[in-house]
């Protein structure tokens, strides 16, 4: 068995016309025989996170899995202090910064 990290993207919707979606990116540790099985497990896990509830304002909020963004082997099999778990590369820093609230000091 190999250890994988799956990157899941979930999104909220609501039964109100002025709802602004909230997105959650989560990193999930999975074990599987191969990447295809790890991707299947990621999809199942993401679907298990889907839920609906009524918020304090009485609005129905629904969380749904939007995408399994990526599945990759854990980079360091010896999980110790400082182990690298996951990495991805990109070219457009401005685009990354535009959606990453922590870079601008925003807290959700």
How many CA atoms within 13 Å lie on the side-chain side of 9?
A: 8
Quick one: the chain helix, strand, coil %, rounded to 5? 25, 40, 40
pTM strictly above 0.85? no
Q: Which residue has the higher pLDDT, 3 or 17?
A: 3
- Tens of pLDDT along 12-66? 999 888 888 889 999 999 999 999 999 999 999 999 999 999 999 899 999 999 9
On whether the CB atoms of residues 66 and 35 are closer than 8 A, the answer is no
- Tens of pLDDT along 79-98? 888 888 888 888 888 888 88
Q: Which residue has the higher pLDDT, 57 or 77?
A: 57
């Amino acid at each position: 068995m190999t250890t994988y990290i799956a990157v899941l993207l979930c999104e909220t919707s609501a039964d109100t016309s002025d709802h602004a979606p909230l997105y959650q990116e989560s990193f999930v540790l999975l074990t599987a025989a191969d990447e295809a099985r790890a991707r299947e497990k990621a999809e199942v896990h993401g679907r298990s996170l889907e839920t609906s509830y009524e918020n304090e304002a009485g609005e129905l909020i629904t969380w749904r899995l939007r995408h399994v963004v990526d599945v990759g082997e854990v980079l360091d099999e010896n999980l110790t202090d400082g182990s690298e778990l996951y990495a991805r590369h990109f070219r457009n820093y401005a685009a990354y910064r535009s959606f990453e609230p922590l870079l601008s000091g925003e807290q959700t």
